[in-house]
Every structure is written in C-alpha cells, then in structure tokens.
Amino acid sequence: MQVTRLLLQASKKMASDANCIFCKIVKGEIPCYKLVETEKTLAFLDIQPLSRGHALVIPKHHGEKLTDIPDDSLTELLPIAKKLALASGAANYNILQNNGKLAHQEVGPRARAHDPQAEREGRAGCGLAADGDGS
C-alpha cells in the first residue's frame, strides 16, 4: 500500500516539467517531425540522429527514469517502437534503455525511447531509452 501511494505521489509530481525539452515538444512549444502520436505517446525524428531514420518514442508523462513513470503511461512504447521498426524495413536493430548517468543517460530529465531505424554499419538501431538528469 505505501509503495503504491509513493508511486502515485511521484507520478503526480513528474507529470510535466516546464524546463524539459521533451515536455516542450509534447506541448508543441518546440516543433518536431511527428511519426506517431497517441494520447499517451509521441514518436518523432531525432534532431541529432545517430543514423538515417533515428527516432524517439516518448511517453507524454514526464519522468526522469523509467521507474518515475506510471505503468499505464508506458504501455504503448514497445508496440510503437515495434511498428516503427517494421515500417523501417530494418533487418537488425537494438532496443535500449538508459537510466542514469552511469547507464549513459545523456538527455534529461525525461524518459524517452530511441528508435533509430536505418542501417548503420550493417545494423539498424531501434532503441528504447529512458534519459534523465544523470543522477
């Protein structure tokens, strides 16, 4: 019970952050090239792609790490990443998730999903990553 209550309190605090670049993208304050948008999720091309077709799939609920986001806000991430991977035609790809500085989390605070779709060095990347403040 107490864990559930703490998770609900954390999720309410993390719903949006005025300083978060991804929250600004979700709100339309920063433009993006949208690939998929639902009530809970936004997928768009990365502004600094690692490969041709590199995209991000993010929950619209703000959170620094995966554990900061309510389960119901995460349900669409992998299905959308899968659809983008299939649409890309990439034969090979990665699903990645980075939580914290030591896990190579570089942008934040915001949980997000990477979906690089194009062939890169004989592989394509389709990654799921959660990035935050590096803590």
pLDDT tens digit at each of 135 positions of the chain: 555 454 445 444 447 788 889 999 999 999 999 999 999 999 999 888 887 778 899 999 998 888 999 999 999 999 999 999 899 888 887 777 778 888 777 765 445 555 544 434 343 334 433 333 333
pTM score, whole prediction: 0.69
What's the start-to-end Cα distance of the chain, in Å?
Answer: 27
Q: Give the count of beta carbons closer than 10 Å to the beta carbon of residue 82.
A: 15
Q: Which residues contact 100 (CB under 8 A, 6 or more apart)?
A: 65, 132, 134, 135
Say what the pLDDT of residue 114 is.
Answer: 54
Number of domains in the chain: 1
CATH number at residue 40: 3.30.428.10
Domain housing 29: 2-131
